[in-house]
Structure 1
């Protein structure tokens, strides 16, 4: 019996298949052989379009997100808030993105579109070109850090919720020496960690909003000084 021809593929097909594997099984499951199996092709067929796994990971990183959000009319601050929350949502939707190593500045068209979107939010400010880049890179670093912390803590909470109970506050009272860690000891004594559940979705969202507020306050103060 004659076998049918293997389906024709391109780099976009390979990237979509790799993302499907990562979504279902995690980034560690992604390999050229696994993606080839997903597509019904030989591994060597993939190498005609994607030279290496590193190149595949770069393509996945660029394709992991939807198009950047449409920013509202108004001042720069409201625009960057929308951008930052959209970026956070995208990372949380595909947490494996955080495991892809960054080997250089972005060159993918989707990544550059997100970069352009955030830079455009600062068009009407007195910031110089280099300062605008610094603001956007700083905001991106903040969002990625918050996303990593959120994803990691969520996994820890799912594995052992007891770590996030009042037991944590009790443990800190046992090990925090006020003479060595006076600032932390005051926080512990104030009962900040005396909660039945230290990990609630509302609290995580509020902490992100507070951190974003502080970052943008700093940018506003800098813009005020430049003006």
Structure 2
């Protein structure tokens, strides 16, 4: 059997510490928790091995005995910050289950707004991320879809949810810095959009779609729900086709 990848072994606490003697006072959990606290207070850019060591009252070398690099630390943070999902109700249909799941991911990530800045280097592999993966797959249990199709549906949903969260958090930060850029968006576009060159966009402007942004946080939530239901409409059609073909 091949060895587990180093980051997977670390997230599942299966890495051999390679030393004997008294149990060390510093743990991977301590290091991860301190890093998350720094990111929550100051954003992800403030996290470093040195800052975490300082917060814990240890030397940086003491951290390296448990976590070998900042990249490993970010992997630990990406799993630990996404708290385990609540069980889906037993009596809900697949669509309600996936809606609750997506809303749960949104709530979990918005507790740590830096989460959207974490690099994504591979599929979910940590215990918390896999618990979310399992929960979404479980919502599709009674659909009649083959297992491979269930994975495809969930991976597509993950792509939508994480993409929308990253976009909405970035736009929310931009709105906080410069709300006028949003409130004047329609007026600015109306001065540069030529209907002969951009006819579809010109019709949107004529309809007044961009006249007012209003509460960006509220509108981003409405946009998230709108896009989510569009995606699930597509899943519903896919399930019908698969079931009819079967």
Normalising by structure 1, report the TM-score. Answer: 0.93
> Among residues 61, 64, 88, which one is paired with 1:47 in the alignment?
64
Cα deviation, residue 84, structure 1: 0.1
> Among residues 86, 110, 132, which one is paired with 1:114 in the alignment?
132
What residue number does 1:103 align with?
Answer: 121
Contact 1:61 1:100 in 2 (8 A): yes
Distance (Å, rounded) in 2 between the aligned partners of 1:200 and 1:108: 33
> Among residues 49, 54, 58, which one is paired with 1:37 in the alignment?
54
Cα deviation, residue 24, structure 1: 0.5
Runs of 4+ with deviation above 4 angstroms = none
SS of match in other structure, 1:126: coil
What residue number does 1:204 align with?
Answer: 220
What residue number does 2:236 align with?
Answer: 220
> Among residues 92, 103, 127, which one is paired with 2:110 in the alignment?
92
Q: CA RMSD in A?
A: 1.2
**Residues 183 and 198 of structure 1: CA distance in aligned 2, closer, same or farther (over 3 Å):** farther
Contact 1:157 1:199 in 2 (8 A): no
Distance (Å, rounded) in 1 between the aligned partners of 2:166 and 2:221: 14
> Among residues 112, 120, 134, which one is paired with 2:152 in the alignment?
134
Distance (Å, rounded) in 1 between the aligned partners of 2:219 and 2:76: 34
Structure 1: which 5+ residue stretches go unaligned?
A: 1-6
Distance (Å, rounded) in 2 between the aligned partners of 1:40 and 1:192: 54
Contact 2:117 2:166 in 1 (8 A): no
Contact 2:39 2:46 in 1 (8 A): yes
Contact 2:172 2:216 in 1 (8 A): no
Distance (Å, rounded) in 2 between the aligned partners of 1:219 and 1:182: 32
What residue number does 2:8 align with?
Answer: none
Cα deviation, residue 201, structure 1: 3.2
What residue number does 1:9 align with?
Answer: 26
Cα deviation, residue 62, structure 1: 0.3
Cα deviation, residue 142, structure 1: 0.7
Cα deviation, residue 146, structure 1: 1.1
What residue number does 2:10 align with?
Answer: none
SS of match in other structure, 2:211: coil
Distance (Å, rounded) in 1 between the aligned partners of 2:25 and 2:94: 46
Distance (Å, rounded) in 2 between the aligned partners of 1:134 and 1:25: 36
What residue number does 1:64 align with?
Answer: 81
SS of match in other structure, 1:113: helix
Cα deviation, residue 120, structure 1: 0.5
Distance (Å, rounded) in 1 between the aligned partners of 2:221 and 2:50: 39
